[in-house]
Structure 1
């Protein structure tokens, strides 16, 4: 992504935070809407069908297009530019999300049609999320903000959205029903589209490629795609990082899309408890992200990363399996959220240091797609497993799998590069973990 600003956007001696603020604002509203939908949509399916299997199927139909389309969009983002991709796909997401309550109100929403609509939402949301992530380093250049500070702020924004989204979503579902939450989700996507299309300065979000490549004289789509894959496959640390996050994301998806809603219904705590758990975890994660932004550069990344995963993952599964009182559940989610707050700033810094800026879109898309590849299966597998064995055995197995994944992986030698990558020149990148209690416990990583 080119860091050159237009003459109106980068005046020598002056600094404007408008580009970075604009991108982060768009991320805030769209992520908040997604988190609200993460409570409203599973609850809507669960209360209207009574089926954990169908709830998992809806999650599968949303996340499969998300992952596939996002993976294939990387070369297009590099060629066309992330700004256009972002505002157009957010507008499409808003339209599909608004259609769900509208058709339900007209008594026209069959279950197959719901699956089509959530698939459209996922297919549009993937490129939209990718485009905003790609604009972060360029916006940091325009705003003259250090790259690690910008990635830290991006992590804080995600946590803020993950705190406000579950709280608002749980309250909306409890007070006025899940369909209102879906309408709010649509409004958030529309707001994000407007911010990117109308509020960013000229020059931000243009194509990362030169004019000859955009005019068809450069490499073709599939050659661009192969270049991104070759770079990613040739970096052992990035590849190991993405593979590990892929497994934890599958477990987080199972936890958020099926296990938490089923636990909330069977325990009698209801959707308000889901929102409260997510809000507590999200608030703690904001604290972790802020602390990571301030001091993580002085710490050993590898140690902080694996300790963060240790407290962010398995304890959430185990406390619900133990049928612990709500106070204990909230305490565990707070500690987990704090640990999770350190994860994405570290992941973002490592990736931004290792990926060349012209490859940012395609490498980021492939990395995110691989890291999220298990998410569509998470809800599907969890729904079937809960139907067969009940929620407690599935929670126990999920917690053990999370613990083993995030501890055994760290023994591989390539992880030593995590502490050495600071010397690499900043550039771009970005597969993210969704191991955020605040992100998916109300239902990312």
Structure 2
């Protein structure tokens, strides 16, 4: 599972570098650059939310394989059509958006299915859930690190469109590994009565009643919106306008991801020895605003590099904490539908973020847009975390430990 997930995530990060670079270098349009991410993530979020009951009913293995195969097939069309002259930009931007949207629509349920396998892995290994989520996050971070670095290098060496072929290949590999090596995992009751909509409503009702998860998801939705604006528009535009190449995007991704891997390992090793609430809020505070403000203030390159290292160190404590909280609070039979809905809500800001980032850069320039995004990130992470239900992060762990 970890290998399949790492290959898929690395491939996705490669396309996250390649597609915005392709659009911006050929169109010089920040709004169009942001629109590409929106076209992928809007159907991704919707399909992920709606796919939860299928994951619980059919099992995560089948949904993961199908999602990878189909999303990879649509991505493979991008380099093929570009090579034969049928994807010239901006004339063929509708075709590119369609292919990206179809890939995102099938990738959503597949990603949700892989996440739903985590509790079964914890049961089979006998390792505490918080350590399992920490290892899972560490592998994901390392894959994202490699993907961003490889993506920047491949774009510089092969071209952006050709680099998307690597993403397609990665999704096919992930599908084969899951199909061959992972046994069938049953989450819910395959004989569960009720319609598809009633099973979906069960997940919605659970999230509506859990105040802590609702509050966490609200904050993550906002920060993901800002992160989408940064990754898909603001960073590529800043790098290009400063006369740098895509290799700098890859370097910053490597530094950020490497620091995140190190801190995620530390968080996994020290699981249960620190306050979840403190680690979570401090991690978010460091992960966002420093990177944005360093670019906005046109800081020296060494300061920009340092800000990415600091941000990575902070972000490494976020996902292990969040994963453990989620799997402690959600009953196993509905983990697929609740997890898919939660992920969809958390990622709901991504489609909007690309468009907001493009519009902001076009309206006020990249430096002011980065400054506003950094300030908004800081407010979102500190303000939401002061709510009283966040104290339940540590209280719930104490109750589970005693039981």
Distance 2:241 2:61 in 1: 44
Structure 1 residue 385, shift from structure 2 partner = 1.3
Q: Is this contact kept in 2: 1:36–1:168, CA < 8 A?
A: yes
What SS class does the counterpart of residue 168 from structure 2 fall into? helix
Q: Match for 2:188 among 209, 226, 236?
A: 209
Distance 1:156 1:128 in 2: 20
**How large is the RMSD of aligned CA atoms in angstroms?**
1.1
Q: Match for 1:329 among 300, 304, 325?
A: 304
Residue pairs, 1:248-397, within 5 angstroms: 248-397=223-372
Structure 1 residue 314, shift from structure 2 partner = 0.6
Q: Match for 2:109 among 107, 118, 127?
A: 127
Aligned to 1:191: 173
Structure 1 residue 41, shift from structure 2 partner = 0.7
Q: Gapped runs of 5+ residues in structure 2? A: none
Q: Is this contact kept in 1: 2:188–2:334, CA < 8 A?
A: no
Provide Cα deviations, 1:92-138, integer angstroms capped at 9, x if missing partner: 11111110010111112221110100001110111111000001111
Q: Match for 2:16 among 38, 48, 68?
A: 38
Q: Is this contact kept in 2: 1:61–1:376, CA < 8 A?
A: yes
Residue pairs, 1:33-72, within 5 angstroms: 33-72=11-50
Distance 2:181 2:30 in 1: 42
What SS class does the counterpart of residue 191 from structure 2 fall into? helix
Q: Is this contact kept in 1: 2:58–2:190, CA < 8 A?
A: no
Q: Is this contact kept in 2: 1:354–1:424, CA < 8 A?
A: no
Distance 1:315 1:304 in 2: 17
Aligned to 1:162: 144
Distance 1:131 1:423 in 2: 29
Structure 1 residue 146, shift from structure 2 partner = 2.3
Aligned to 1:6: none
Distance 2:70 2:191 in 1: 30
Q: Is this contact kept in 2: 1:62–1:118, CA < 8 A?
A: yes
Q: Match for 1:76 among 37, 47, 54?
A: 54
Aligned to 2:121: 139
**Number of residue pairs matched by the alignment:** 397
Matched, 1:178 2:153: no
Which is richer in helix? 2
Q: Is this contact kept in 1: 2:130–2:271, CA < 8 A?
A: no
What SS class does the counterpart of residue 298 from structure 1 fall into? coil
Aligned to 1:442: none
Q: Gapped runs of 5+ residues in structure 1? A: 1-22, 427-445
What SS class does the counterpart of residue 185 from structure 2 fall into? coil
- How does the TM-score come out when normalised to structure 1? 0.88
Aligned to 1:10: none
Distance 1:228 1:24 in 2: 26
Distance 2:222 2:168 in 1: 30
Distance 2:107 2:64 in 1: 9
Aligned to 2:84: 106
Structure 1 residue 212, shift from structure 2 partner = 2.4
Distance 2:382 2:44 in 1: 28
Q: Is this contact kept in 2: 1:353–1:424, CA < 8 A?
A: no
Distance 1:32 1:131 in 2: 17
Distance 1:326 1:166 in 2: 19
Matched, 1:399 2:378: no
